[in-house]
Amino acid sequence: MTDANDPTVNGSMPVPHSRRSFLKGALGAGAAATALAAFGDGLVAPMAGVSAQSDEMLPASKFTIKNTLALNLTRHFATVPLFQGMFNGQPVWYVITEASDQGIASDRGLNFSPRLANIPAGHPAVQEVVTGNPSLGRDMATFAGVPNFGPTRVITAGPMGFPPANFSPGSYGMGMYADFVRVRGNNVVYNAPIIAVGSGPFDVTTHTNTHDRVLSIDTAKMTVDLLFVRAFAHGREIMYHSFSASEPMTAAIERGTYVPALSLIPTMNTRTVPEGARSSIFAFVNGKLGLTSPPAQGLNHVILDGHNPEDASMGNVALLKALSMGGDARNVLDSFPTLNDPRLYTPVWDLQLAKWSKDAMAQGMNIAQTDANQIRQLASQGLVTAPDELPITEQNIIINCPALAFTTDAPSEPQALDPGRSATVFRGAP
């Protein structure tokens, strides 16, 4: 899934003049003081989005990223702390979701992901930032690169929904940009995607200076509302953020930033060993269609039923309603922070595209799957293959998708035996 017509030139995406300009200038000492007052050591901040009284809110006990301020199930967004940095003299705005150090992750309310430390220093998928505090987000950080949010995201449905007839990512992260960050002089790796640039006003409708999942941003209260993704892990419904992908079609469908350097993160086929930084995520290309999931699932489903070609905004009520009913692709994650062995969790997902066989579809088996090992069991029987009908495998397409929350019970272990491993080691493994 590569784009032979990638229009990137010298690390930047040429865009019309009206989409190239960002307002300049820093916030100054007053706004910096407001940010420090809002967060303090505990990273507590007021909620940015105002939820209707009838909106269903997920209890905080279900969050895996504990610094999440609120999660609105009705309107499909999470309110999270916002941080300010700088790049070439202009403000940039970012969030933090993971840390590779357990103490920092616990103290800051982040997902603990020790496998991020397996991305070596100097790797193009990790940028170095300069800040006066070794803990990211405690002081102003100067970034080495920033995404270009100017391009217009394009998805045109194909005859079956997926693959799309036409596509283009809504933002590009080239040159020195990476979502993953190390503070200079420190070995801890953070997941810290930039989600907006400039001093505002911020475009949260067509996203000319914000990430395509930003629904609202408040630089006074230092909060941002992000459209999340509903999915499954180990038989449970879960939610995750989606920030970037290493391949342009995937980035466009995910409403993420296209960051090619992600594909260099070590290493393919290492989901079963803690030395790698990747885990698997399964996406079906020909699951059932319909407004609700289960039974619907897949990339065809999210494009046709989930309003995927449309811009996400608070004003697009039809899109938010479709997603709240199950209109996301409903992908299946192969690890999660609440597993019996949380050390194996990583937000670095190695995409495995899954296709139901003709026999499986004829038998009506192509309903939503919720457990990665159940999918592997189906693949071992020839009922699920890769799109080319060869055995299912990693595509070396990487997606940065931090786990966010779970709806009912926390995923703790796989629901089926991994056919490629022994029965004595599969429980709690990625």
Which pLDDT score is estimated for 4? 32
DSSP 3-state of 83: strand
**Sequence spans of domains, the chain:** 55-406
Would you call 87 helix, strand, or coil by DSSP?
strand
- Better pLDDT: 397 or 16: 397
Query: Does the structure show a pLDDT above 70 at 130?
Result: yes
103-112, 245-254, 411-420: least confident range? 411-420
Which among 369, 239, 194 is positioned nearest to 297, based on CA atoms?
A: 369
Q: Is the pLDDT of residue 267 over 80?
A: no
Give the span between the Cα atoms of 98 and 109, in whole angstroms.
9
What's the pTM value of the predicted model, to 2 decimals?
0.86
Tens digits of residue pLDDT in 183-240: 999 999 999 999 999 999 999 999 999 999 999 999 999 999 999 999 999 999 999 9
For the chain, percent of residues with pLDDT exceeding 70 = 84
The CA distances from residue 227 to 59, 118, 255, 411, in Å, are 17, 29, 10, 22
Q: Is the pLDDT of residue 300 over 80?
A: yes
Q: Look up residue 44 and give its two tokens.
A: 């507590």
As a whole number of angstroms, the distance between CA 413 and CA 342 comes to 11
pLDDT in the model for residue 90: 96
| Residue among 82, 87, 89, 68 nearest 173 (CA) | 87
The pLDDT confidence band at residue 273, using thresholds 50, 70 and 90, is low
Q: Is the pLDDT of residue 286 over 60?
A: yes
Tens digit of pLDDT for each residue in 147-165?
999 999 999 999 999 999 9
pLDDT of 261 above 90? yes
pLDDT at res. 5: 31
Q: Residue 155 forms beta bridges with which residues?
A: 167
Strands (E), 210-356: 214-218, 223-227, 229-233, 236-240, 244-245, 257-258, 279-284, 332-333, 348-356
